[in-house]
Amino acid sequence: MINHTYDDFPYLCLIRPDIQPRHLATLATLFNLQPPLLTTARILELGCGNGINLLAIAQSWPQAHCLGIDYSARQIAAGQQIIKAVGLNNIVLKQLDIVDVDDSWGQFDYIIIHGVYSWVSSSVQKKLLSICQHHLVSNGIAYISYNTYPGWYLNQIMRDMIQYYHFHQFEDNTIRPLETKQLLQAVIEHNQPHQDAYTLLLQEQLTRLQKPDGDNYLYHDLLEVENHPLYFYQFIEQAQQYGLEYVTDVKFRDALSTGQPLKFNLGGDWVTHEQYMDFFPIANCG
């Protein structure tokens, strides 16, 4: 397996509109919940990277209190420089291990956990859910993302191949993106006459690696030691053990229509219905 740190290859941090507390509060309201008031909310982001997403929240709600933690000292230092340059005083970033969060932190109205859950060990996953259980106010909202089956099985084929290839061939991390693309191109050209599903899958993966964020996908999904996709129902079972209840996907409108009316009854409760919906989308990998 490939071993590297997020200090060596910082995670690509973006402002994500669909996980902003405003969006989360709107969804909760649509489901007849009464989410916490945004103007003075306490907001925690675990695995915040350089804090750019949290910084956008702090700018939008100057009376809110925003706290972000990340294990990467390099990312936190970069974020602190941004905060200083912008001049915000309602946001704090700390370099800290998630397992060190304790009762002294108090409670939060919103907890955001993006790009963390699938990329940590089982014990840390339990800690993340425990934080949501003990540090959310009674009507608080938590957002948690993870790599999702069945879509991620397609990525898993790619991950297994290049994990084996890189483990046996290269120790220099800097050449891995180029070598990965060359490997894929060689396999695609060899299989070109067939144009089977496997070749088309590799072509799709190569196209993804050639995008501006391709190296980020390579290092933090395909080469990362910890990467544990799971089915939606499995995640919900884990969350319910910590007293957490599912509200909706942040892109829940995608579940309102599959393009054509279903010709059979999915049955079951809301969670069961949502799990079935995961089998329908063409792209269901994250």
- The percent of residues above 90 in pLDDT, for the chain, comes to 55
Asked: is 1-147+228-286 a CATH 3.40.50.150 domain? The reply is: yes
CB of 139 closer than 8 Å to CB of 34: yes
Mean pLDDT across the chain: 85
> Which pair of structure tokens corresponds to residue 140?
């608080």
CB of 72 closer than 8 Å to CB of 10: yes
Mean pLDDT of 84-95: 96
**pLDDT higher than 90, residue 76:** yes
Mean pLDDT of 87-99: 96
Mean pLDDT of 29-53: 96
CB of 181 closer than 8 Å to CB of 158: no
Mean pLDDT of 168-182: 66
Mean pLDDT of 207-231: 84
- Give the per-residue pLDDT at 25: 97
pLDDT band at 217 (very low <50, low <70, confident <90, very high): confident
**pLDDT higher than 70, residue 54:** yes
- The percent of residues above 70 in pLDDT, for the chain, comes to 84
CA 151, CA 266: separation in Å to the nearest integer? 19
CB of 246 closer than 8 Å to CB of 271: yes
Least confident of 23-37, 93-107, 180-194: 180-194
Range from 37-41, 154-158, 210-214, 252-256 that averages highest in pLDDT? 37-41
**pLDDT higher than 70, residue 279:** yes
Eight-class DSSP state of 119 = G
Residues linked to residue 44 through DSSP beta bridges, in sequence order: 67, 111
- Write the DSSP assignment of 185-231 as a string of letters: HHHHHHHTTT--HHHHHHHHHHHHHTSTTHHHHIIIIIS-S----EE
CA 135, CA 140: separation in Å to the nearest integer? 9
- Predicted model pTM: 0.86
**pLDDT higher than 60, residue 170:** no
**pLDDT higher than 90, residue 38:** yes
The residue that leads in pLDDT, 5 or 220, is 220
pLDDT band at 62 (very low <50, low <70, confident <90, very high): very high
> Which pair of structure tokens corresponds to residue 280?
């329908």
Strands 91-95, 65-70: parallel, antiparallel or unpaired by DSSP? Answer: parallel
**pLDDT higher than 60, residue 3:** no
**pLDDT higher than 90, residue 101:** yes
Sheet of 108-113: strands edge to edge? 91-95, 65-70, 42-46, 108-113, 136-144
Cα–Cα–Cα angle for 114, 33, 269, rounded to 5 degrees = 80
| Residue among 179, 192, 184 nearest 208 (CA) | 184
Range from 11-15, 168-172, 216-220, 225-229 that averages highest in pLDDT? 225-229
Residues linked to residue 155 through DSSP beta bridges, in sequence order: none
- Give the per-residue pLDDT at 286: 44
Domain ranges of the chain: 1-147+228-286, 152-222
Phi, psi angle pair for 124, to nearest 5°: -75, -35
Neighbour-count burial for 256-276, b at 16+ CB within 10 Å, e otherwise? eeeeeeeeeeeeeeeeeebbb
